[in-house]
Amino acid sequence: MAVEAVMLWNEPNNLSHWDFQMDEGWKIFAEMTKLASKEIAREKPGLTRVLGGMSPIDPAWVKNMDTLGVVDAVDVVAVHGFPLDWNHWQIHEWPDKIAEIRAVTTKPIWVSEVGVSTFGAEEVQDFGLAKTAELLLGKVPRIHWYSLYDLPRAWPATTRHREAEGSSYYRHFYMGLLKEDGTPKRAARRFTEYAPEMGICQWFHYEDHRLDDAVDWLRRLGVTRLRTGLSWADSHRPNADAWFDRQMKALEGFDVTVTFCFTPGSCGLRSDHTSPPQRVEEFAEFCARMVRRYA
């Protein structure tokens, strides 16, 4: 296994993942990210550090992070885009969106999540995959398609207002190339045309029953680059290290970008995974321990 990169947080400019409206929220995020980046570099010099994929794509946010010293502390800036489901721009605007971020940073830009749901029809995802490949392959160093599996309907999506978001919420459950039961959709066949240059982002829940089947499917699809996560919040569960060990062992053979995010309830300014931590050192310690164990 090669852990080729670590990503610091996931969509921090999205309230479903970081409560930047809390007092001094961005100042705390900056301090936390810079310290974590420093500790990662101490553990594994040269390991690529990625600023968690922004969603929405926002050059003003990048400027803010630059002012706070965060951009200088990382090697890559990442973006997420879902123009056929959630964003207020068209899929053909992808080159413009990349250009907006290139205009405010000299750091390489990764597209660490891009995807299309089958909420309306499988044909929409099939078109979206082909158009995304046409617009982005060869234009950025990394692309991770989101995702391999549909989110099981029995699990909640990680979003702030859940069912109150209407169809926007339910689209979370249709983002996979595979249905919940593992049945491939139309776009799964097309994806093989773009692998291994295009990778996949697949989040695994704590003790996720899909792990072994997912690995089999990733190999069948020709995937070599995978983005996933190790949750700081999950690290407080019983036997967390055993689960993390199993997950990372199963992913041997892939070039993995590991995302560190989500605040344990006991460590936040309030008991919620989106909360800034009481002590930024605790997140940095978690990141350093994970890098020491798996990179």
Q: How far apart are CA 284 and CA 31, in angstroms?
A: 10
- The alpha helices in the chain, defined as continuous H runs, are 25-43, 59-67, 94-102, 122-136, 167-170, 186-191, 211-220, 240-250, 280-294
Rounded Cα distance, 276 and 269, in Å = 6
| Distance from C-alpha of 29 to C-alpha of 8, rounded to nearest angstrom | 10
Torsion of CA 160, 162, 164, 168, to 10 degrees: 90
Cβ neighbours around 154 below 10 Å, total:
6
The per-residue pLDDT for 171 is 86
Per-residue pLDDT, 162: 67
Beta strand 143-146 with 199-201 is parallel
Tokens linked to 277? 């931590």
Contacts of residue 10, Cβ cutoff 8 Å, sequence gap at least 6: 17, 52, 53, 229, 259, 261, 262
Token pair, residue 193, equals: 């045309």
Tens of each residue's pLDDT in the chain, 295 residues: 589 999 999 999 999 999 999 999 999 999 999 999 999 999 999 999 999 999 999 999 999 999 999 999 999 999 999 999 999 999 999 999 999 999 999 999 999 999 999 999 999 999 999 999 999 999 999 999 999 999 977 677 776 666 665 577 878 889 999 999 999 999 999 999 999 999 999 999 999 999 999 999 999 999 999 999 999 999 999 999 999 999 999 999 999 999 999 999 999 999 999 999 999 999 999 999 999 999 9
Q: To which residue do tokens 């982002």 refer? A: 201
pLDDT score, position 172: 82
Q: How many Cα atoms are found within 13 Å in the side-chain-facing hemisphere of 175? A: 27
pTM here?
Answer: 0.96
pLDDT of residue 173: 83
Q: For position 168, what pLDDT does the model report?
A: 77
Q: What is the CATH T-level fold of the domain 2-294, as seen in this structure? A: TIM Barrel (3.20.20)
Contact 192, 164 (CB under 8 A): no
Q: What are the tens digits of pLDDT across the range 93-150? A: 999 999 999 999 999 999 999 999 999 999 999 999 999 999 999 999 999 999 999 9
- Tokens 């909640």, residue located: 156
Q: For the residues of 78-102, what is the DSSP string, one character each?
A: EEEE-TTTT-SS-GGGHHHHHHHHH
pLDDT of 170 reads 72
Query: What is the spatial distance between Cα 258 and Cα 49, in angstroms, rounded to a whole number?
Result: 10
Whether the CB-CB separation of 226 and 200 falls below 8 Å is answered with yes
Listed in sequence order, the residues at least 6 apart from 239 whose beta carbon sits closer than 8 Å to its beta carbon are none
C-alpha span between 210 and 148 (Å, rounded)? 11
